[in-house]
Amino acid sequence: MVLSGGMVKEGYYFGLPTLALGAAALLLRWTVFGVILFCLAAFVFYFFRDPERIIPTDAGVVVSPADGRVVVVTDEENAGRPGKRISIFLAIWNVHVNRSPAAGTITSLKYCPGKFAAAMRESASANNEQNVITLTTDAGEITFKQIAGLIARRVVCWKKSGDRVARGERIGLVRFGSRADLWLPRDSELLVKVGDLVKGGSSVVAYWPPRAKSTQPRAQKQVSSEENLSTAGKRT
């Protein structure tokens, strides 16, 4: 859950006790230990930051579910359906709040226990602990995952099956370094490549128009986050 002040509540849970211990250490003249704890508290507050994002309003765009670097773009089947997968690696310095890639209804939310291998590894998509979220949109179904990593040991989703979400809406958090996967049907048009840096909720990663509208392909370019945007994704 997000609180005011640009930080999720977990930041207070982890940061304030560390800050208090640092203050106690300084009072006891354990200067080095106190400074280390203050630095650790500062890092925790930074890690759990939650900046506002400007959400694209163009019809048919799909936004990144997470901040980070695109490490995989590949063809992949999902439950027998041909499609494409984008994998995003979240380094420990990235914002770790996850956002919905499109507007729709969460029709399935499944927690899958698993390993805690390094999130950079390809095997992490299938074998690591994760939440698998299926979202039904006006264009059809897409799937995205919150995946734990070597350091990230907990995936948290603030939504439940049946919830309606807006494009770019905050949906959860993965703690301390992780991975996010996004699966789209074959007829979608991907607009990112391996190595691209993306921001959750604002970077357009694909174009997949509603079924009732034309599916004429767009030019292969990523929509600028500074053009034709409007503020959305308000805190809940």
Active site residues: 178
- What single letter denotes the amino acid at residue 175? R
- Between CA 27 and CA 18 the distance in angstroms is 14
- Between CA 71 and CA 119 the distance in angstroms is 10
Backbone angles phi, psi at 68, to 5 degrees: 145, -160
In order of 21, 83, 94, 199, 233, the CA distances from 51 in angstroms are 27, 31, 11, 11, 10
Burial of 80 from C-beta contacts in 10 A (0-12 / 13-18 / 19+)? exposed
Q: Token pair for residue 56?
A: 């694209």
- Between CA 199 and CA 69 the distance in angstroms is 9
